[in-house]
C-alpha cells in the first residue's frame, strides 16, 4: 500500500516519518531475471569490458615494470 | 514494472507530527527526509579531499575554484539518480547490479568496491594519526580510540541515532568557512575565479592536468553511489519523498562544494605566503606560527572530523553492499546480534584499517596509488550500471526511468568520467608516457 507520509488529522495534517510509515510496494526484480540485452545495454557493457581489459593491461605492464622484468627484457 | 509486496503487516501508523498548515507540513516532511543527501556529499570531503583541495589552493591559488562550480551539477545529477533508484526499488546498488546484471558483474563490482573502500579507510586513519600527532596525541592512542568511537556510533541499533550524530559532524564543517574568513582572501578574485576559468602562471602543465583529474576523482567517489542508495533504502524513503530527497541532495552538493571552496581558500593562504607543504598538517603547523594559533588547531581538528566522516560512511557503504549481496540482515535498525554479518563487516573494515596504520613504515604512497587504480576501475563501471538501471523500463516502469534530457546529461558525464579515469590510471601506471 503506497502512502504519502501525510494523513488528514482533525487538527490539520499528520506528518509521518518514513521509518514509522506503512511499507510501500516497491519496484521488484522478482521474476524478472537479468536485464534485457538491448543494443544500448550490449554496447555499454562491451565498452566497459574493453575499458577494464585496457586497465588490466596497464596494471600488468606497471607490475612488470616495478618488478624489473621489463628492464631485463630490454 | 512489477511491485513488491511489503514484508510487514500493513497497519495504520500511530506516530507522526500534527501540523496546521501546508507549509509547516512541507517543512516537517523535508526535515524527516533530510539526511542521506547531506551525509553522502559531506562525507566525501574526507581526509583525502581536504588534502587535495588544500593542495590545489597551495599550488595554484584561486585558479581552480571554477572547477568546483562545474562539479556541483555533476555531483547532483549522479546522486539524484542514485536516490531515485533507491526510492523506487528499496534496495542498494550492489544488490541491483547482482540481480539485473548477473553474478559476474555483481562480484566484480562488490570486490572492487570493498578493495577501494578498504584502502581509502587506511588513508583516513593515517590522516587521523597525522593530525592528532601534530596536536601531541600519540597514534597508539588516537587510532584505537577513533576506531572504537566509530564502532560505537553504529552499534546502537538505531539508524536515526547514527544519522543525527553524522549530521552534527557534517555541520561542524561550517568551521571551514570561519577559517576561510580568517585568512582574508580577496573576495572579488574569489567571485571572479569561481565563474571565469583563469590560467595559473606556467600555463597547462601535466601537474595541473592531473590535479584537475584528482579534484574530479575526489569530488565524485565510487562509494557514494552505493552509500546513498543503501542509505535511502535503510531510511525507507517513500515515492512521495523523492522531491525532498532531491532537495536534500542538492543542499548536500551545494554545501560540500562550498566547504571544498573554503578548503581551497585556506590552501591559497599557503600559496600567497609561500608556505611549502606536502599535507594539510604541515600547512596547519606553519600557519600556527602566525598570530592566529587557533587556526592551526582548527585545521587539524577539521582534518580529523573529515576522516571520521569519511570512515563511517565508507565502512557503512561496504557493510551494506556486502550484506545485500550475501542476503544477510543489513540494517542499522538491528541490534548487534540480529545482524552479526553486517556489523562484523563494518567492524572488520574499521579495525583492520586502523591496525594497518599502526604498523611502522606502512607504504602509504602505495596505498594511495592503489586507491586511484581501483577507483579507476569501479567508478566508470558503477556509473554505467546506474545509468542502465535508470533506463530499465522492465524494472522501473515509465514513472522512474530517466527522461531523454537526463540521458543526454548523464551520458556526457559518463564519457568525461571514463576519459578522466583512464587518464589518471595511465598517469599512475605508465608515468613515462607523460614525461
pLDDT value of residue B293: 64
Say yes or no for a CB contact (<8 Å) between B429 and A32: no
Note the pLDDT tens digit of each residue in B277-296: 766 677 777 766 554 567 78
Say yes or no for a CB contact (<8 Å) between A23 and B10: yes
Q: How far apart are CA B267 and CA B280, in angstroms?
A: 8
Say yes or no for a CB contact (<8 Å) between A32 and B159: no
pLDDT value of residue B435: 59
Task: Please say whether the beta carbons of B7 and A36 come within 8 A.
Answer: no
Long-range contacts of B254-258 (CB under 8 A, 24+ apart): B254/B72, B255/B38, B255/B41, B255/B42, B255/B170, B255/B173, B256/B41, B256/B42, B256/B44, B256/B45, B256/B75, B256/B219, B257/B68, B257/B69, B257/B71, B257/B72, B257/B75, B257/B219, B258/B177
Residues of A in contact with B4 (CB under 8 A): 25-28, 30
All three cell numbers of B146: 577513533
pLDDT at B7 over 50: no
Q: How far apart are CA B426 and CA B435, in angstroms?
A: 12
ipTM over 0.90: no
Q: How far apart are CA B271 and CA B261, in angstroms?
A: 15
> What count of other Cβ atoms lies within 10 Å of the Cβ of residue B191?
12
Residues of A in contact with B425 (CB under 8 A): 55, 58
Nearest-by-Cβ selection for A55 from B10, B102, B377: B377
Probe site for chain B from A23, A27, A48 (most B CB atoms < 10 A):
A27
Burial tier of B23 (Cβ tally within 10 Å: 0-12, 13-18, 19+) = exposed
pTM, full prediction: 0.90
pLDDT at B5 over 50: no
Full set of structural domains in chain B with CATH? 48-434 (1.20.1740.10)
pLDDT value of residue B9: 40
Say yes or no for a CB contact (<8 Å) between A18 and B32: yes
Sign of CA dihedral B213, B218, B222, B224: negative
Rounded to an integer, the average pLDDT of B103-121 is: 92
Note the pLDDT tens digit of each residue in A21-69: 888 889 888 888 899 999 999 999 999 999 888 888 887 887 787 777 7
Amino acid at each position: 500500500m503506497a502512502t504519502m507520509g501525510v494523513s488528514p488529522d482533525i487538527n490539520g495534517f499528520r506528518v509521518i516519518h518514513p521509518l514509522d510509515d506503512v511499507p510501500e510496494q516497491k519496484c521488484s526484480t522478482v521474476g524478472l531475471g537479468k536485464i534485457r540485452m538491448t543494443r544500448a545495454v550490449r554496447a555499454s557493457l562491451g565498452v566497459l569490458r574493453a575499458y577494464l581489459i585496457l586497465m588490466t593491461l596497464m596494471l600488468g605492464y606497471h607490475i612488470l615494470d616495478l618488478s624489473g622484468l621489463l628492464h631485463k627484457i630490454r | 514494472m512489477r511491485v513488491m509486496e511489503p514484508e510487514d503487516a500493513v497497519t495504520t501508523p500511530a506516530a507522526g507530527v500534527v501540523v496546521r498548515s501546508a507549509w509547516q507540513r512541507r517543512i516537517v516532511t523535508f526535515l524527516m527526509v533530510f539526511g542521506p543527501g547531506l551525509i553522502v556529499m559531506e562525507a566525501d570531503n574526507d581526509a583525502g579531499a581536504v588534502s587535495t583541495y588544500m593542495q590545489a589552493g597551495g599550488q595554484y591559488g584561486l585558479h581552480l575554484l571554477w572547477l568546483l562550480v562545474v562539479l556541483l551539477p555533476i555531483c547532483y545529477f549522479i546522486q539524484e539518480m542514485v536516490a531515485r533508484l533507491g526510492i523506487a526499488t528499496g534496495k542498494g546498488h550492489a544488490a541491483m547490479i547482482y540481480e539485473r546484471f548477473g553474478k559476474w558483474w555483481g562480484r566484480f563490482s562488490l570486490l572492487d568496491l570493498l578493495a577501494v573502500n578498504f584502502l581509502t579507510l587506511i588513508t583516513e586513519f593515517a590522516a587521523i594519526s597525522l593530525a592528532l600527532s601534530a596536536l601531541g596525541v600519540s597514534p597508539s592512542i588516537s587510532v584505537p580510540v577513533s576506531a572504537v568511537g566509530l564502532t560505537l556510533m553504529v552499534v546502537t541499533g538505531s539508524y536515526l541515532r547514527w544519522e543525527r550524530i553524522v549530521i552534527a559532524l557534517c555541520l561542524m564543517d561550517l568551521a571551514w568557512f570561519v577559517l576561510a574568513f580568517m585568512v582574508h582572501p580577496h573576495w572579488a578574485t574569489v567571485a571572479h575565479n569561481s565563474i571565469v576559468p583563469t590560467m595559473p602562471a606556467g600555463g597547462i602543465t601535466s601537474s595541473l592536468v592531473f590535479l584537475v583529474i584528482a579534484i574530479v576523482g575526489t569530488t565524485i567517489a565510487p562509494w557514494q553511489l552505493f552509500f546513498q542508495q543503501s542509505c535511502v533504502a535503510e531510511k525507507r524513503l517513500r515515492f512521495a519523498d523523492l522531491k525532498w530527497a532531491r532537495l536534500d541532495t542538492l543542499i548536500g552538493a551545494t554545501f560540500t562544494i562550498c566547504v571544498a571552496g573554503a578548503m581551497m581558500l585556506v590552501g591559497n593562504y599557503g600559496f600567497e605566503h609561500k608556505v611549502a607543504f606536502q599535507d594539510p598538517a604541515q600547512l596547519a603547523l606553519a600557519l600556527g606560527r602566525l598570530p592566529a594559533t587557533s587556526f592551526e588547531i582548527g585545521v587539524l581538528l577539521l582534518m580529523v572530523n573529515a576522516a571520521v566522516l569519511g570512515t563511517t560512511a565508507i565502512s557503512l557503504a561496504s557493510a551494506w553492499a556486502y550484506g545485500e549481496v550475501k542476503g544477510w540482515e543489513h540494517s542499522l535498525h538491528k541490534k548487534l546480534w540480529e545482524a552479526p554479518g553486517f556489523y562484523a563487516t563494518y567492524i572488520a573494515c574499521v579495525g583492520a584499517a586502523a591496525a594497518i596504520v599502526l604498523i611502522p613504515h606502512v607504504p602509504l604512497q602505495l596505498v594511495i596509488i592503489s586507491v586511484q587504480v581501483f577507483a579507476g576501475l569501479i567508478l566508470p563501471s558503477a556509473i554505467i550500471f546506474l545509468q542502465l538501471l535508470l533506463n530499465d523500463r522492465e524494472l522501473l516502469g515509465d514513472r522512474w526511468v530517466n527522461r531523454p534530457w537526463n540521458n543526454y546529461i548523464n551520458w556526457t558525464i559518463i564519457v568525461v568520467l571514463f576519459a578522466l579515469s583512464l587518464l589518471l590510471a595511465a598517469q599512475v601506471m605508465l608515468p613515462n608516457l607523460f614525461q
